[in-house]
Structures are given as C-alpha cells and as structure tokens.
A and B are shown apart, each in its own frame.
Chain A
Amino acid sequence: MSTALESGAVFLVQTVGAAVPLALATSGGVLSERAGVATIALEGYLLAGAFGAATCALATHSMLLALVASACAGALCAGLFAFTTVTLRANAIVAGVALNMLCAGGTRAALKVLYDSASNSPPLPVSAARDGSVASVAVRSLASMPTTWCAIAAVLFVSVLLSRTVFGLRATAAGEHPEALRAQGVSVERVRVGALVLGGALAGLGGAHLSLAQHEFVAYMSNGRGFLALAAVILGRWRPVPAAGAALFVGALSALQAVLAGPAGKYAVLLQALPFVVTLAAVVGLVGRTRPPAALSQ
C-alpha cells in the first residue's frame, strides 16, 4: 500500500476509534434526554463502564462478560441517577454532578482497594494484532473490538427504538408532553427510568471501549469525553443518527491532532477547542435552530 493510502487508513481508523466511546455515550445521552431528564452524568457512566469492563476482564478473561459488566455498571449508575431524579424528584443537574463525582471517586478508590494502585489497573488480557503494516494492524485492532460494532448497532438501535417502538414513542412523549402521556394512563416515571437505565447501559459500553482499547483502566480515564458526548447530543439536535455524526466529527478532530503532532502541534489546541465552540454556536442558533425536548428546561 502506498504511504498516502496507509496514512489515510490510519486516520480513518483513529477517527472511528475515538468516535466509538463517544457514539455510545451519545446514543445513551440522546435516549436519556429525549425522555426529559437532563443528563450530564455521561462522564460518570463512561468511567463506571470502563472500570466494570476492566475488572471483569481481569477476573474472567472473557471479552463478552466484560462488555456485559460494563453495560451493567452503566445501568446501575443510571439507576441511581434515575432514582434520585425521577422518584425523589431531585434536581437533575445537581444529581448529575454528584453522580460524576461518585464515579470518579468510586472507581479510583476501588482501583486502590482491588489492585493497590492509585493510577492504573494491571494490563487486561486482550489480544492485540501485531504483525503486518501499521495500517492493517490498526484496522484489524479496531475491527476486532466488539465495542466498535456495538457502537454502530447502538446508534441504529436507539434510532429505531425512538421512532418505531411503543416504548420509544412513550419516551419521546415523556420528554415533550408528559401531561398527555399521564392522561393516557401511562406512568411517565416508569418510562423515564427505563430510558435512563437503558441510556446508562449504552454509555457504559462506551466506557468498555476505553479500557479495552487501552488494555488497562486508568484513573479518571474518561477525561471529559462525557461532556463531549453531551455536546454531540446537542449538535445532533437530540436525534440519534445526527448526534452520532457529531460524535464522528469530534473523533475526526482528535485524530487530526495526532496528525498535527510535531511542528504544527501548537494548533492542536484549536482542534480541541472546536467541539465546544461549535456547540456554543449551535445553542445560540448560529448553526441552525436548536430546540431541546420540552421537558428538559424544567
């Protein structure tokens, strides 16, 4: 392969690789927010999922079980979040900040207790492709990660769920006209809890990609991706496929930073700033009109 093609392939792989955890967290966030609950806890879900996947992989050496564990970890956190915001009617922003704190502190404390390290876990038993050109190794590594396929599936799943299933339509209604839903005799609370927990599970899977791809769990490894995912949710106008597109865009930006490393490295900060600037422009209305689900502004 010519080096230009190789570099192009590596860039694409890095874009998709960076976008996978974002797309999963974004899909979860879309579902959660469409149901009418402001979800800034995505950061916490990612951390919980990453930690869950790491500990399960170390204990069982099974990739499948690690994925299940990550989804459960995310769902558990979302369950706590749902309990406080929906059942106890607490303020969702405060609860979200608290949950992020809980996951950041909890995963790092558990890391210390379980593996006696304040920064990283032992390396995970994940096999890595090694032979072949840089590009082919990259492509095969990405394709062999089940979370990559989970991300694609998750976007389609949430899209179909919201538009064609009874649950999805109820979730949308819970976010737009909860009173109408209640008048029909449907429990808005139960729909919201369901959407939140499902969203948390998806975001947890995104966290699994983080630790599995890096072959270890590092303290605070989500590193703000949860907020980037929230930005993608907003950029995508709370619709699953456009939001995933926004996640891909953010992934491309981080891959571009790797390309720019070296002499043009000081411009990397502009690329890092771009998602935030674009989202700001979007909510102000400079990039088309943004109308969040009606129940979110409460």
Chain B
Amino acid sequence: MKGSSSFETQKTLHPEGAEGPSRRAKGFLLLRMKSGFLALLCIFTCLAPAHAVEPDEVLDDPVLEERAREIGRELRCITCQSQSIDDSNAPLAKDLRIIVRERLVAGDSDEEVIAYVAERYGDYVRLKPAMRADTALLWLAPALALVGAVAGAFFYFRHLKRLEKTTPALNDDDEDLPEI
C-alpha cells in the first residue's frame, strides 16, 4: 500500500520479515563496518614506520640496503639526538647514511660499520650500547634488579611464615567466655 513506510513493507513482504534482520538494519550494520574498516585503515597507515632515506641513497643490492637500514636504526643522529640516522632529516644524518652504505659496499661487516662511526663520534652514537666490560652493568642491571626483588620477596614471605609458626596459638582459656 502506498501509505505504508518502507520499513513496514519490508517487514511484511520480506520472507524473513519478523525474524531476520531488516534490510534497513543490515544497511546500517554495513555502514558501521565500512566506517570501522576505514578508521582501522587510517590508524594503520599512520602507524606505518617513517624514515628519512631518500631514493637516491638506496643501494641497488636489496640485501645490503636492508643491512644499511638496520644499521641506520642503531646509530644515533648527533644533531637530532633522540632520532636514529634512519629517521632523521638532518644533513649530517644523510651524510652518515651514505657513509654506512659506502662501507657496506666496500665489504665491511655490520659491527665494523658501526665501529667506524663510533670511532669518530664516540659510543654515544650507538643507540644499542656495546656489550663490553664497562657496559656489562648497564645490560645486566634490569636482570639483577629482578633477581634482587624476587629474592627479597622470598625472604620476606619466609620470614612471615616463621612468625606464624612461632606465634603462640590461642589457647583454650580464651575460648571459655563466661556465659552471661
């Protein structure tokens, strides 16, 4: 009938009518799915890792290029000190990225390339501290702190248990309250 709303029509004419989801409800659900998907897409695009490597720096050999990117992530940019040279747009970072790639092409190992830069700029340039005698404490400190905490907890709870055992239990006298 002309006067009835499409909602009513759908409900009566559609074979599933009373039980399944109406077309309107389905449309609404689809819209929510689409906008949800769009939102997720936006979030993931924004999370995509950014880097400052320019096309003219990229090496032809993909294996070497990947090593160069990895080393770049481990070297600190001196002008923008909280960034790696892989992330930083500073001119010095670009120079260092080029040098890293040159040394890789010349055949240096990853550690040799990092050492080359550290020899000139100091260990501060390593974002991952070297594992050496003087940095051993730096590396082990978290593990030591955990062991210390666990040991402390162990001794504390054992102490509590001992207190429990030596504290005299209530004797029967306390239970005999005079009847009023």
Partners in one complex: no
Q: What is B's interface to A at a CB cutoff of 8 Å?
A: none
Q: What is A's interface to B at a CB cutoff of 8 Å?
A: none
